[in-house]
Amino acid sequence: TARFSLPDDADDSETRASQLSDGPLATFAPMSTIVVEGGPRLSGTIGVLGAKNAALKEMVATLLAPGRHHLSNVPAILDVDLMCRVLEHTGCKISKAANELWVVVPDEPEPEAPIELVRQMRASIVVLGPLLARCGVARVALPGGDDLGARPIEWHLDGLEQMGAVFELVHGELVGRVDGRLRGAEVELPFPSVGATENVLLAGVLAEGETRIVNAAREPEIEDLIAHLGTMGARIDGGGTSLITIEGVEELSPADHRVLPDRLAAGTFAVAGAISGGDVTVTSCHPGHLRMELLKLEEAGCEVGRGDGWLRVAGPDRPQAVDFATLPFPGFHTDMHPQMVALLAVASGTSLITENLYDARFRYVGELARMGADITVEAQHAVIRGVDRLSGCPVLAPDIRAGAALVIAGLRAEGTTEVGDASHIDRGYEDFVGRLASLGARVQRVEDLP
Ligand code: EPU
pLDDT (0 to 100) of residue 30: 59
Query: Residue 449 — pLDDT band, cuts 50, 70, 90?
Result: low
Q: Residues 34-51: pLDDT tens digits?
A: 999 999 999 999 999 999
For ligand 1, is residue 154 a contact (CB within 6 Å)?
A: yes
Tell me the residue type at 273. Answer: G
Model confidence at 198: pLDDT above 80? yes
Centre of ligand 1 to C-alpha 193, Å, is 6
pLDDT (0 to 100) of residue 172: 85
What predicted TM-score, i.e. pTM, was given to this entire model?
A: 0.93
For ligand 1, is residue 145 a contact (CB within 6 Å)?
A: no
For ligand 1, is residue 427 a contact (CB within 6 Å)?
A: no
pLDDT (0 to 100) of residue 7: 39
Model confidence at 2: pLDDT above 50? no
Which residue's CA is the closest to the ligand 1 atom numbered 2? 152
Model confidence at 67: pLDDT above 60? yes
The residues near 391 (Cβ < 8 Å, ≥ 6 apart) are 371, 372, 413, 414, 415
For ligand 1, is residue 367 a contact (CB within 6 Å)?
A: no
Q: What is the mean pLDDT of the chain?
A: 92
From residue 253, alpha-carbon distances to 69, 214, 357 in Å are 9, 27, 35
**Residues facing residue 304 across a β-bridge:** 313
Position in ligand 1 atom list of the atom nearest CA 158 = 8
What's the CA angle centered on 328, arms 306 and 368, to 5 degrees?
A: 80
pLDDT (0 to 100) of residue 10: 37
Q: Residues 131-149: pLDDT tens digits?
A: 999 999 999 998 866 777 7
Centre of ligand 1 to C-alpha 195, Å, is 6
For residue 242, the 8-state DSSP code is S
CA–CA dist 378, 79 (Å, integer):
32
Position in ligand 1 atom list of the atom nearest CA 191 = 14
Active site residue 146: yes
Model confidence at 4: pLDDT above 60? no
Going by C-alpha positions, the residue among 398, 393, 444 that lies closest to residue 423 is 398
Helix axes 291-299 and 263-275, enclosed angle (nearest 10) = 10
Q: Residues 84-123: pLDDT tens digits?
A: 999 999 999 999 999 999 999 999 999 999 999 998 898 9
Identified catalytic residue from 8, 22, 79, 146: 146
Query: Residue 3 — pLDDT band, cuts 50, 70, 90?
Result: low
For residue 326, the 8-state DSSP code is B
| Helix%, strand%, coil% for the chain, nearest 5 | 35, 30, 40
Which residue's CA is the closest to the ligand 1 atom numbered 28? 335
